[in-house]
Amino acid sequence: GLVVGVLGPDGVGKSTVIDALQRELQPAFRRVAYRHLRPRLLRRGQAARSEVTNPHGTAKRGWAVSLAKLGLFVADAVLGDWLAIRPLKIQSSLVIFDRYPHDMLADPRRYGLSTPRWFNAAVLGLVPKPDLWLILDAPVAVIMARKQEITAESCATVRAGYLALAEALPNARIIDTAGGIEDSVGRACDAVLSALASRAARRAHT
């Protein structure tokens, strides 16, 4: 199986790409599983995607609440990896995460965290990572034409955060979605199939 984390700013086309990945890659796996942000073994909350009308409307939390939120995400990700995600991988499943805890590093304002980024990065270092990261990207003008819930300045800041995250994450691929749906889906599918082929090649030489 394979775990894929799909990240990117609102308006970059995550929902469209994820839906297409589930549809196009289903024949290559025994099953396809979808998760939103985290496994959700603890405090399930909102498990399905929803339309976000004000992504930066979350009030900034104090240190105690920020630490509690980070702790919840880490505990859920670690337990969920052992109890839910790994069993799916053993069953040759494709597990697609729409966002992931590391999303908080690219767009901390969305989660209202007051803890510094270096601290968040250190804590999230405890979270098991997907086999492949797909960081969806597009120019600010393209994103703003699709989503206008935040200012162009905020959009540029968030976009820069995801591009910086892509540089720091292992096995990350940037998918430019400005070329249209078919091109974006093709690039994403190729990235997943390439990851499978690379892993098969490594195993063949061990």
Cβ atoms within 10 A of the Cβ of 183, count?
13
**Alpha helices, DSSP H only, in the chain?**
14-25, 63-80, 86-90, 103-106, 108-111, 117-124, 140-146, 152-168, 181-204
Residue bearing tokens 């469209």: 16
| pLDDT tens column, 56-107 | 877 888 999 999 999 999 999 999 999 999 999 999 999 999 999 999 999 9
Structure tokens given for 95: 């597990």
* pTM: predicted TM-score of the whole model, two decimal places: 0.93
**Tokens coding 138:** 């597009």
pLDDT of res. 119: 96
pLDDT for the residue 56: 82
Taking only the tens place, the pLDDT of each residue in 122-162 is 999 999 999 999 999 999 999 999 887 889 999 999 999 99
Using alpha carbons, select from 159, 107, 110 the residue that is nearest to residue 138.
159
Percent of the chain having pLDDT more than 90?
81
Average pLDDT value for residue range 178-206:
91
Average pLDDT over residues 176-203: 93
Kindly report the average pLDDT of the chain as a whole number: 92
**What percent of the chain clears pLDDT 70, i.e. is strictly above it?**
95
Amino acid occupying residue 91: Q
- Coil vs helix vs strand at 32: strand
Q: Return the pLDDT at 31.
A: 95
